[in-house]
Amino acid sequence: MPVTSTNKPSPAKSSAGGGFAILGAWLPALLVLTPLLIILWRSFQPAGEAWDQIVENRLPGYLRQTLVLLGSVTTLAVLFGVPAAWFVSVYRFPGRRFFEVALLLPLAMPGFIAAVGYVDAFRELIPVYVWIRKNWGIEAFLKSQEIAPWIFGTGVLAATLFPYVYLSCRAVFARQAAGALEAARLLGAGGFRCFATVAMPMARPAVAAGASLVAMEAVNDFGVVTHFGLVPLTPGIFRAWNEGNLVSSMRLAMILLVIVVIALGIERWQRGRKKYFTETPDAPLTRARLGPAGVATAWLACGIPLLLGFLIPGWRLVRWTLQSWDVMDWPTNLKASVNSFTLAAGATLLILVAAFAVTAAHRALRRRSLLLARQVGVLGYAYPGALVAVGMGALVSTLAFDFPGWASLALSGSTFGLMLAYFIRFLAVAIQPASAGFERLPESLHDAGRTLGAGPLRTLLEVDLPLIRPALVAGAALVFIDVFKELTMTLVLRPFDFETLATLTFRLTDESRIPEAALPGLLMVSLSLLGLIPLVRLLHDARR
Partner 1 sequence: MKPNRGILHLLPLAAAAFALNANAAELNIYSHRHYPQDQAINKLFTEKTGIEVKVVNADADQLIERLKSEGENSPADLLVTVDAGRLQRAKADGLLQPVKSEALEKASAPGLRDAEGYWYPYTLRARVILAAKDRVQKDEIKSYEDLADAKWKGRLLARSSSSSYNQALAASVVTANGKDKAAEWAKAVTANFARPPQGGDRDQIKAVASGLADVCISNTYYLGLLLNSKDEADRKAGESVHVIFPNQDGRGAHCNVSASGITKHAKNVEQAKAYMEFLVTPEVQKMIANSTYEYPVSGDTKLSPTHEAWGEFKIDTETFPKMGENQPEAVRIFDQAGWK
Binding site for partner 1 (CB under 8 A): 37, 50, 53-54, 56-58, 61, 119, 123, 126-127, 129-130, 133, 138, 141-142, 145-146, 148-149, 227-229, 231, 239, 241-244, 246, 393-394, 396-400, 402-410, 412-416, 491-492, 495-497, 507, 510-512, 515
Residues 384 and 216 sit within 8 Å (Cβ to Cβ): no
Are 254 and 40 spatial neighbours (Cβ–Cβ below 8 Å)?
A: yes
Closest CA to 248 of 491, 38, 33, 39: 39
Show the DSSP H helices in 233-367 as ranges.
Answer: 233-242, 246-271, 292-306, 312-323, 330-365
The least distance separating partner 1 from the CB of residue 518, rounded to whole angstroms, comes to: 13
- Residue 289: in which H helix or E strand, if any? strand 288-289
Burial 212-250 (b: 16+ CB within 10 A, else e): bbbbbbbbbbbbbbbbbebbbbbbbbbbbbeeebbbbbb
Cα–Cα distance between 543 and 412 in angstroms, integer?
46
Least distance to partner 1, CB of residue 393, Å: 5
Nearer Cβ to partner 1, position 44 or 98? 44
Rounded to whole angstroms, the Cα distance separating 76 from 84 reads 13
Min dist. Cβ of residue 138 to partner 1 (A): 4
Cβ at position 407, least distance to partner 1 in Å: 6
Could you tell me the smallest distance in angstroms from the CB atom of residue 112 to partner 1? 14
C-beta closer to partner 1: residue 26 or 228: 228
Element at 288 (helix H, strand E): strand 288-289
Q: How far is the CB of 198 from partner 1 (least distance, A)?
A: 45
CB of 348: closest distance to partner 1 in angstroms? Answer: 19
- Gap between the Cα atoms of 30 and 403, Å rounded: 22
CB closer to partner 1, 330 vs 496: 496
Q: Which is nearer to partner 1, 27 or 536 (CB)?
A: 27
CA 493-497-499 angle, to 5 degrees, is 65
Minimum CB distance to partner 1, residue 440 (Å): 35
Please identify, using beta-carbon distances, which residue of 240 and 302 lies nearer to partner 1: 240
Min separation Cβ 62 and partner 1, Å? 11
Output the smallest distance, CB 236 to partner 1, in A. Answer: 10
Q: What is the dihedral of CA 94, 95, 96, 102, to 10 degrees?
A: -170
CA distance 422 to 33: 13
Q: Which is nearer to partner 1, 171 or 491 (CB)?
A: 491
Q: Which is nearer to partner 1, 279 or 497 (CB)?
A: 497
CA distance 96 to 302: 9
Q: Could you give the CA distance from residue 333 to residue 329 in angstroms, rounded to a whole number?
A: 6
Residue 384's Cβ-count burial label (10 Å; 0-12, 13-18, 19+) is: buried
Q: What are phi and psi of 332, to 5 degrees?
A: -60, -45
What is the rounded distance in angstroms from the CA atom of residue 271 to the CA atom of residue 267?
A: 6
Q: Least distance to partner 1 from the beta carbon of 139, Å?
A: 9
Q: d(Cα 99, Cα 497) in Å, to the nearest integer?
A: 41
Q: With respect to partner 1, which residue has the nearer C-beta, 329 or 447?
A: 329
User: d(Cα 422, Cα 279) in Å, to the nearest integer?
Assistant: 36
- 419, burial (CB in 10 Å: exposed 0-12, middle 13-18, buried 19+): middle
The residue (of 279 and 402) whose beta carbon lies closer to partner 1 is 402
Of residues 315 and 406, the one with the C-beta less far from partner 1:
406
Least spacing, CB of residue 63 vs partner 1, in Å: 15
Supply φ then ψ for residue 508, to 5 degrees.
-65, -40
Nearer to partner 1, 98 or 131 (CB): 131
Q: What letters, b where the CB count within 10 A reaches 16 and e where it falls short, cover 397-415?
A: eeebeeeeeebbeebbbeb
Tally DSSP H helices, then E strands, for the chain.
Answer: 27, 2
Nearer Cβ to partner 1, position 150 or 277? 150
